[in-house]
Amino acid sequence: MKATVPVDAAVRRKQGGFLDGVVRQKSGLICLVAVLVFLSTCIVLQWLRTDLDWRQDPLSAYLKGPYGGWLRLAYYSLSMALILLGAGLYRVLQPQARSAVPAALLALAGIALALTAISETDLPLLDHDQENQLHRLAAMTTFLSVTSAMVLQSWRFHYDAIWRVHVALALPLAVASFIALWIYAYWHGMPEGLRQKTVISMILLWLGIAAWWLRHEQLVRLQPVAETPPAPD
């Protein structure tokens, strides 16, 4: 039997450009790698930055000082990954399950995350207080946008026959992350660094799982299929 590429995949390759191909075929892998890089960088810095207390100091404290440049690069890579994840999920889902709202929120979160890192680079046009205000606004926007997108996107999985099975894991984790964010904001019974990093870990877990699912679905769609032999006369 002759192996051929599915017709719809061939048509998409011809119609889409390079960026469209990245979104359709590589966004899951790129996002998964970015999440792992971000997580690994954050974990390593907890040991390298002996001048900081990982329980007390939030992650933003690691953006300045020794190794701060590496963390900023991890922020930028995750920023790009958030945008690609939203676009990739939008493309891979069935039309009735698609919603531009989660994709837009993930894009907003990605932009705000980049601004969060940029605000810790001694911007020439802003004084210290203005930098702090920009950082707080960007960080708040990132957290609210990404957790809201996680909840909405998890719910949209329900409308896709292939992705419906993932709702049982994705939605509870997304809702728990959203609730944990508000606990972090208003409850001070634990050190700030520990509270914030718990929320970040939950968000990264959801992003990593969603990226893994997206990568798997993209690989399935890229697999060649066997040509059906003609029926005997």
Q: Quick one: pLDDT at residue 11?
A: 42
Q: Quick one: pLDDT at residue 223?
A: 74
- CA–CA dist 161, 95 (Å, integer): 11
Distance of CA 188 to the CA centre of its chain: 27
DSSP H or E stretch at residue 225: strand 225-226
> What pTM did the predictor assign?
0.86
Average pLDDT by stretches of 10, the chain with 233 residues = 44 57 84 97 95 94 93 97 96 95 98 93 77 92 98 97 96 98 93 95 98 94 61 56
Tokens standing for 126?
């802003």
Q: Quick one: pLDDT at residue 121?
A: 76
CA atoms within 13 A on the CB side of 217: 23
Find out whether 28 and 214 touch, Cβ atoms under 8 Å.
yes
Q: Quick one: pLDDT at residue 66?
A: 92
Q: Quick one: pLDDT at residue 229?
A: 54
Residue with tokens 């963390």: 71
- Which are the contacts of 184, defined by CB distance < 8 A and separation ≥ 6? 195, 196, 198, 199
Tokens standing for 24?
């359709």
